[in-house]
Amino acid sequence: MKKIEPDRKRLSERNIVRILLKPLSFLYGLVTTLRNRLYDNRMLRSESTSQFSIVVGNLTVGGTGKTPLVEYLIRTLGQQNGIVTLSRGYGRESRGFMMASPDSTAADIGDEPLQYYQKFGQKIPVAVCENRVEGSRLLEEYFPAHKLLLLDDAFQHRALRPDVAILLNDFNRPFYQDDPFPGGRLREGRSGAERADAIITTKCPPDLSAKAKESIRQSIAKYAAPGTPCFFAGVRYGAMRSFDDTDVPARSVVLVTGIAQPQPLQQYVAEKFGLDQHIRFPDHHGYTEADVAEMLKSLKNDQIILTTEKDKVKLRPLAAEINATSRFCYIPIEVEFGDETEAFREWLRVSVVQPLQARPVMD
């Protein structure tokens, strides 16, 4: 009981704050709804792209699993289709259009685009630009043979009109139970789900029952367009890998995260390896030399620092400067659709591959 009471107290306090902020959430939701209606009625300009475009996004702020899904789409669609990826580059210190290169840092292009580049940069171009329309035009100019544009976190970027929009719904924080800012975590009202061509509930437990799935579908259907397909996906954690990409034997670890929702990873690590400590930073945290020094101070002789792929791209250069990469490792994370794998891939074939192949070739 002693462990539960503080959680109940915090939950009660959050509910009180949420109630007090309800009027402001209503106003924020109203503003975003009006903005969407202006785009829907063509009173604000929205442009399509020369490439066949797929948007991956969410209504809920942070941590819904966009990055693993983007990587899944790259692996699934990239074999037969020329893909380019375009992100905003959240957290970068630069502005405007930039292409990822071997010299790029997270400060240049953002941590998630840098992760895409380090994993797939030999096969696909990776770019960032706040203005997705401008970015798509430049990518078309630079890579005319690449006809599939994958846009990360652009669901609310209404100036661009995608061919396919995939909306992610966090199983642990479903959008249909949440409110807009500031009382809730939604970027816009729940009705924004009606723009989605497919909705994926992410981070599902492996034993999610058919009855539970149907309940979620019914909740989503209140806000989505009629007939919108709903899929369910979980998370698959890989084996621990060193910063130099060699296998690391399982051992007790100090977990370091700078992601929005680290709780599932924390639970997995505690059960799988043994967790001595969790050092938690804000999402997209810009690590410093002092951060790394403080992490290393907390280590015992046989311990290793475990982090995420997104954190790795920022921590590795700092660790390399002091010859400490051997004290760090990361754990890969992938999305998996389980028994819905074939259904989702069939949806991709019908909704993406066939229309892409049927699109006329422009001279």
Class of domain 239-331: alpha beta
- What is the C-alpha end-to-end distance of the chain, expressed in Å? 70
AA identity, residue 9: K
Q: Is 67 annotated as a binding residue?
A: yes
60 is in an annotated binding site: yes
- For 217-268, the pLDDT digits (tens) are 999 999 999 999 999 999 999 999 999 888 888 788 999 999 999 999 999 9
Q: What's the mean pLDDT in 126-152?
A: 96
For 28-81, how does the pLDDT look when each residue is reduced to its tens digit (9 = 90+)?
Answer: 999 999 999 999 999 999 999 999 999 999 999 988 999 999 999 999 998 667
- CATH superfamily, domain 52-235+337-358, is P-loop containing nucleotide triphosphate hydrolases (3.40.50.300)
Instruction: Tell whether the model's pLDDT for residue 117 goes beyond 80.
Output: yes
- Average pLDDT for the chain: 92
Of the candidates 178, 130, 196, the residue with the CA atom closest to the CA atom of residue 157: 130
Structure-block tokens of residue 215? 């309940």
On whether 22 is known to bind a ligand per the annotation, the reply is no
Ligand-binding site membership of 63 (annotated): yes
- Judge contact between 277 and 254, C-beta under 8 A: yes
**Which residues are bridge partners to 334 per DSSP?**
236
Assign 279 a pLDDT band (cuts: 50, 70, 90): very high
* Domain range annotation of the chain: 52-235+337-358, 239-331
Confirm or deny that 91 is annotated as ligand binding. Answer: no
**pLDDT band at residue 363 using 50, 70 and 90 as cut-offs:** very low
Across the range 203-213, mean pLDDT stands at 96
How many other CB atoms sit within 10 Å of the CB of residue 279?
15
